[in-house]
Structure 1
Amino acid sequence: MTDALKRLSQEGVAIWLDDLSRARISSGNLGELLDQQHVVGVTTNPTIFQKAISGGTGYDEQLADLAARGVTVEEAVRMITTADVRDAADVLRPVYEATGGLDGRVSIEVDPRLAHRTAATVAEAKQLAWLVDRPNTFIKIPATKAGLPAITETIARGISVNVTLIFSLDRYREVMDAYQTGLEQAKARGLDLKDIYSVASFFVSRVDTEIDKRLDALGTPEATALRGKAAVANARLAYQAYEEVIAGERWEALSRAGANPQRPLWASTGVKDPAYPDTLYVTELVAPGTVNTMPEATLRATEDHGEVRGNTIQGTYEQARADLDALDKVGISYDEVVQLLEDEGVEKFEAAWNGLLESTQAELERLAGGKD
């Protein structure tokens, strides 16, 4: 057993758990992860909730009550998911207080079917913030084209945001711009910028999965040599872009007004290819002021045998750029890949949400049977 998680925290990486369920909360497991594994935050998404609600009996009592009331399936899902996020936020509240609001946060995502509708996304973000009613909540908004102005408007209203589904460096720069614009509007409205926080969730493993598939199809020695390099290179260059933004005059003015940096968050950090170390997207993406949200398997693997070697991002930018440029030389379009991944990401979350609605509807109908 190593103390890799403690070392990771000491290097300035906030460790968040990419999972939530009612059983995890009620059993005390979430509290144990905070106490023993240096976890300081939680992220959720439609896939996580679909697995949680369909995977046990922990929701039966609430489902029975909802069925008795005859609520719509959309309302039922929102009541169930916001209850879990509210309870998890209460568990994490001491971390939130101890870190002055930086960590101890739980993320909940807007309905993914709204990903291409700006006004509806803002309305949903406001509703979720009201329903959960905890200061240590992040509302997750996908970084689609329609999501960018929604991010600005939500931040401008003083609601803290976790921007999700970021794959491309250009889109990440647009996200950082949207955040700063939102802060400027919030300041103009007289809001206290110290109370507004944000993270930008840059997805990692899916980049390797898609690009490696294309490299394997090429099958040349040049292509094979590039396997497993794109995702880390992409994330490292994202951190470089972040450093450039926070060193700029625009950010310095916001910082003087009390604004908090929008931390880069490494998401999708579970390794999909067994040929790679299972801690690859943790140990190779260590830098201060970042967040790494991990599935529990990745968290345990890092705890067990992760080798944290200090900062593994700064000083790597030239090689990272060379690795991405090499993809173009073998005929793989970076722009095409990241757009495909964004489109697929929205589709996957929509599919998970629809599956959640279907399974919840079936439970409501089952539990409503025989009732007055």
Structure 2
Amino acid sequence: MPKPAPEVGAHFFIGIPGPDLDPPTRALLRTVRPGGVILFGRNVRTAARLARLTARLRDLLGEDLLVCLDHEGGRVNRLKDLTGAVPSAPQLAHLGDERFAREHGRLTGRLLREVGVNVNLAPVLDLWLRPGVDNSVPDRCWSHDPRAVARFADAFLRGMQSEGVLGCGKHFLGYGAADKDPHQVLPRVNRSARELEREDLRPYADLWDGGKGPLRMIMLSHAHLRAYHRGRLTPACVSPKLMGGILRQRLGFQGVTITDDLEMGAITRTMTVGEAAVGCLRNGVDLVLICHTAKAIREGHRAAFAAARKGRLTDRLLAESRARLAGLREDLAPAKAFSPRRWEALLGEIRRFAARVFARLPDRLKVMDARWGPIGEE
């Protein structure tokens, strides 16, 4: 008789459809029992309502639930309807002073913790390498220089984590050189192994620093890295060479890893969501991210459950992953009750900070889109 499957839901990070927990959403959460929930603009109405949603998620799934969103600044800001415009990474880097990046991180941490979010999928550690190519990251990169990326991202991360919100470096590895947007298709990166490991890896190495730096979590990209896979197209998240050889061995990273959204075209045009979820977990990834539809979430969860029962996901593999997740949770600050007065005061600080940054920028950098590069370069 086959043994009961270990709990696989703890390795899933899932999205929910709206600003409240309706009966179908509660049923999905009870079935999957995810280790984390990701929020988007569709989940946000008011700050008080968002804080109530995250509190109810913890009531249902436990106080140690990971609740995340993407709050980089600039174009990627899930709370933009509440905060207004906040500066992006390249806008902050253009000022040349990492104190602005640290303050942006500190204010971001306070903002997210106030509404019950304890993980931010930022900062971007990609290098700006493809001017004029919309691969979704040029207006999100700190710089083309690995040292500058490390310097500004380190300041942002330390500022944010000083307020009790954990960050996540992304998109491992070499994604700044990708030729297409992974939301649509599987992009390719044609950088050499030497370039990837000397340049693109540098910000991760500096921020990890053998475990002494602030980096505790890394998101793997969906790009195909030709330097490591010259035959079949292979997304980075299912690449043993990248995950085991580069991230765990060469970099020595012992923190938590998470995929990008498995519903992106880069994955769904390459394999099924179920195949991707199992492939990522077998590859040693700790958390699989499925952001949008209940159908895809159930498919991924069922596939992982079946793989665990059949021994394709081993007890040892999952136990090692759970240990890393437990270590991450030790760094979380406890949730706190929402305060309307504190929230309004914080919004005032954020808007004054944004105004100071924007006042220092040349006009051509005050509004950015995905075609623009950082540090005033076009």
TM-score by length of 1: 0.50
1:301 paired to 2:307 = no
SS in 1 for 2:11: strand
Pick from 94, 106, 115 the counterpart of residue 89 of structure 2: 115
Q: State the Cα distance separating 1:274 from its structure 2 match.
A: 4.8
SS in 2 for 1:282: helix
Pick from 48, 67, 85 the counterpart of residue 105 of structure 1: 67
Pick from 212, 215, 219 the counterpart of residue 201 of structure 1: 219
Q: Distance in 2 between matches of 1:243 and 1:95?
A: 34
Q: What corresponds to 2:274 in structure 1?
A: 279
Q: After superposition, what is the alpha-carbon deviation per residue over 1:139-172, rounded to whole angstroms, capped at 9, x for unaligned?
A: 2221234253333223434242022333426477
Q: What corresponds to 2:106 in structure 1?
A: 126
Against the structure 1 CA distance between its residues 232 and 203, is the aligned structure 2 distance closer, same or farther, given a 3 Å change threshold?
Answer: closer
Q: What corresponds to 2:208 in structure 1?
A: 180
Q: What corresponds to 2:54 in structure 1?
A: 89
Q: What corresponds to 2:171 in structure 1?
A: 165
Q: Distance in 2 between matches of 1:127 and 1:30?
A: 31
Pick from 99, 107, 125 the counterpart of residue 143 of structure 1: 125
1:37 paired to 2:11 = no
Q: After superposition, what is the alpha-carbon deviation per residue over 1:112-158, rounded to whole angstroms, capped at 9, x for unaligned?
A: 45132344544333222212325751222212342533332234342
Q: Distance in 1 between matches of 2:21 and 2:371?
A: 26
Structure label with greater radius of gyration? 1
SS in 2 for 1:240: helix
The percentage of counterpart residues that share the same residue type is 7
| RMSD value, Cα | 4.5
SS in 2 for 1:142: coil
Against the structure 1 CA distance between its residues 152 and 32, is the aligned structure 2 distance closer, same or farther, given a 3 Å change threshold?
Answer: farther
Against the structure 1 CA distance between its residues 155 and 31, is the aligned structure 2 distance closer, same or farther, given a 3 Å change threshold?
Answer: farther
SS in 1 for 2:281: coil
Q: State the Cα distance separating 1:236 from its structure 2 match.
A: 5.0
SS in 2 for 1:276: coil
More helix by percentage: 1
8 Å Cα contact 1:270-1:294 kept in structure 2: yes
Letter in 2 for 1:298: A
SS in 1 for 2:119: strand
Q: State the Cα distance separating 1:91 from its structure 2 match.
A: 3.3
Against the structure 1 CA distance between its residues 152 and 20, is the aligned structure 2 distance closer, same or farther, given a 3 Å change threshold?
Answer: farther
Q: State the Cα distance separating 1:110 from its structure 2 match.
A: 1.9
Letter in 1 for 2:260: A
Q: Distance in 1 between matches of 2:56 and 2:234?
A: 38
8 Å Cα contact 2:33-2:61 kept in structure 1: no
Q: Distance in 2 between matches of 1:299 and 1:5?
A: 18
TM-score by length of 2: 0.50
Letter in 1 for 2:218: A
Letter in 2 for 1:40: G
Q: After superposition, what is the alpha-carbon deviation per residue over 1:297-326, rounded to whole angstroms, capped at 9, x for unaligned?
A: 431212345552216xx9xxxxxxxxxxxx
For this pair of structures, how many residues does the alignment match? 242
8 Å Cα contact 1:282-1:292 kept in structure 2: yes
Structure 2: gaps (5+ residues)? 76-87, 128-141, 143-148, 175-195, 318-367, 373-378
Q: What corresponds to 1:69 in structure 2?
A: none
Against the structure 1 CA distance between its residues 303 and 4, is the aligned structure 2 distance closer, same or farther, given a 3 Å change threshold?
Answer: farther
Q: What corresponds to 1:264 in structure 2?
A: 257
1:240 paired to 2:245 = yes
Q: After superposition, what is the alpha-carbon deviation per residue over 1:261-319, rounded to whole angstroms, capped at 9, x for unaligned?
A: 431111132263456333232111114561111133431212345552216xx9xxxxx
8 Å Cα contact 1:166-1:202 kept in structure 2: yes
Letter in 2 for 1:241: I
8 Å Cα contact 1:85-1:108 kept in structure 2: no
